[in-house]
Amino acid sequence: MKPRHKRFAIIVGGLAALGIAATLVLNAFQSNLVFFFTPTQVSKGEAPKDRTFRIGGLVKEGSLQRTDITARFVVTDTAKEIPVSYTGILPDIFSEGKGVVAQGSLGADGQFTATEVLAKHDENYMPPEAKAAVDQAHEASKTLKQ
């Protein structure tokens, strides 16, 4: 083995060992790396009970009610739902059917009281006309199915 082959082998071996170490560490911290819990995870009891945590999902269509500056809405991941109440200013792109992340705590009655609400944007970028076309196509396919 020439010295340079040896050095190269050390680099490859070192990187492989680091990669494995990083994978193991990240796996161990899996639950701490999650930014939010989905309603399904909450219903399974995976969310922490003694401290505040974040829930994330979609704002259920037609569930948003505002009284003064208190907003009530339902967060859904299409399988499970959690009702949320929040007093404060909602972000600009917060709307029904869109992603949301709320921080707060879950009451015994299953009501989530949020202290902070963040809007989660998705990866879709398109002009309003394209959005209208997509919605139309969506509606059309719905009617066809029925």
Partner 1 sequence: MSQRLVNWFKFASPATFYPLAGKAWPWFAALGTAFAAVGLWISFFVAPTDFQQGEGYRIIFIHVPASWMSMFIYCVMALWAAIGITFNTRLSGMMSSALAPTGALFAFISLWTGALWGKPMWGAWWVWDARLTSELILLFLYLGYIALTAAIDDPRRADKAGAIVSLVGVVNVPIIYFSVKWWNTLHQGASVSMTKAPTMATTMLWGMLIMALAFWMYSIAIALYRVRAIILERERHATWVAELPEMQA
Which tokens belong to 24?
């193991």
Nearer to partner 1, 34 or 111 (CB): 34
Cα(55)–Cα(111) distance, integer angstroms? 12
* SS3 (DSSP) at 36: coil
Interface with partner 1 (CB under 8 A), residue from 91, 107, 136, 139: 91
Question: How many residues make contact with partner 1 (CB under 8 A)?
Answer: 43
> Please, what is the Cα angle at 86 between 110 and 88, to 5 degrees?
170
Nearer to partner 1, 92 or 109 (CB): 92
Asked if 57 contacts 76 with a C-beta cutoff of 8 angstroms, the reply is yes
Residue 118 is a binding residue for partner 1 (CB under 8 A): yes
Nearer to partner 1, 106 or 117 (CB): 117
Among the residue ranges 43-51, 59-67, 105-113, 121-129, the one whose residues contact partner 1 (CB under 8 A):
121-129
Nearer to partner 1, 69 or 130 (CB): 130
Residue 87 is a binding residue for partner 1 (CB under 8 A): no
Residue 103's DSSP bridge partners are 54, 116
Cα(139)–Cα(135) distance, integer angstroms? 6
Q: Which residue has the tokens 């879950």?
A: 106
Q: Would you tell me which residues interact with partner 1 (CB under 8 A)? A: 4, 7-8, 10-11, 14-15, 18-19, 22, 26, 30, 33-38, 56, 89-94, 98, 101, 116-131
